[in-house]
Amino acid sequence: MDAIQAPIIPIVGGWIRETPGTISLGQGVVHYGPPAVAVDAVRDALASSFAHEYGDGGGLAVLVDAIRRKLAADNGIDLARGSKVMVTAGANMAFMHAVLAITTPGDDVILPVPFYFNHEMAIEMAGCRAVRVPTDERYQLRLDAIEQAITPRTRAIVTISPNNPSGAVLSEASLCALNALCRARGIYHIADEPYEYFTYGGVRHFSPGSLPDAAGHTFSIYSLSKAYGMPGWRVGYVVYPDALASGMMKSQDTILINPTIASQVGAAAALGVGRSYCEPYVREMASIRDIVVSELSSLAPLATVPAADGAFYALLRVNANLDPVTIAERLIREHKVAVIPGTAFGMDGCYFRVAFGALQKATVAEGIGRLVTGLGALLGSRP
């Protein structure tokens, strides 16, 4: 545990609490809450005895049925092709289960950079090695680099699309090619897709688990935290190969037993509303994204940021030899704006993840303005 990176969100959160008035562009949350029907469903469930008892480790039948319908309609995934679904306490737990189910200590798992820091942490906690592989200048997959990184100990390749922390949406062609590579080499493809609905400018998300021959080697991981504004409810789910059912259930039963019953009831109600619930917020976020990218672009040539086509992040590169953790702390303490240093996501150099999901139009200008002014001051030149 001492060798594993400390989770950066609580560290930055501590600096924010010590600096009242800070606007956070740090944690990846949305500014809206869950559908009213979900809250009502939980209230009703709490009045029933079943909500206070143990439940099925795989998930409540009503929620699993709702997930099955959602997967078919939104992702093109048919569980009858050889997959199972498990409800988990968020997407992080789904990823942990997947790693434990397919690896033994000393195995490799490939992470294209930038990666989600909890993925690397989970891999290392399982006694495995996270193999970092570079992406291109727009954070798209480099299939040649990935293939060169495969060894006899490689058990899985992880993709995140839309990406956290860069906001890049991986192309359908690259995801198809990667999935085919995994199948040919006997490697699992873990596709992390919590931001599936957050795409902009005509860009569309693709689920590799929808491919006709993907079921036997593909994990597809989802969450209700983002689209339905319910991160504190801790509900996610994972589609996984039938052959791994024993290992997945052993991990679930040991770590969790079963997801919280009341949260699952609320999740089923939220899925009943469906994607239409978050669509107005995604449209609003698209306009906020445009403001963010435009304002950050004013930092050039001091800093650059590729346009983010998905999620609600931008990965800002500062063109200076500075320690990003030190700069992140100074931005909070001196300019009252918080971002996450890119070192947490495997980036070498001075990078920062800028999260704008929690902002509304009334606050985005102030938050991004503080960031632009603060970076200009810290770099010795105001844009």
Predicted confidence (pLDDT) per residue in 17-28, tens digit:
999 999 999 888
Same fold, 8-28+278-378 and 36-273: no
Fold of 36-273: Aspartate Aminotransferase; domain 2 (3.40.640)
The angle formed by the CA atoms of residues 192, 193 and 196, to the nearest 5 degrees, is: 165
* Element at 20 (helix H, strand E): none
Two tokens, residue 124 = 């290392």
Segment 210-227, tens digit of pLDDT: 999 999 999 999 999 999
Q: How far apart are CA 100 and CA 217, in angstroms?
A: 15
8-28+278-378 CATH: 3.90.1150.10
Segment 292-305, tens digit of pLDDT: 988 898 888 889 98
Residue in the structure block whose two tokens are 């503080």: 370
- Residue 383: predicted pLDDT: 39
Two tokens, residue 351 = 């990078």
- Residue 27: predicted pLDDT: 84
Burial (CB count within 10 angstroms: exposed 0-12, middle 13-18, buried 19+), residue 250: middle
List the chain domain ranges: 8-28+278-378, 36-273
- Residue 273: predicted pLDDT: 97
Segment 361-371, tens digit of pLDDT: 777 888 999 99
Q: How far apart are CA 291 and CA 318, in angstroms?
A: 19
Q: Give the pLDDT mean for 91-118.
A: 98
Two tokens, residue 45 = 């469930």
DSSP-assigned letter for residue 306: P
At residue 147, the 3 state secondary structure works out as helix
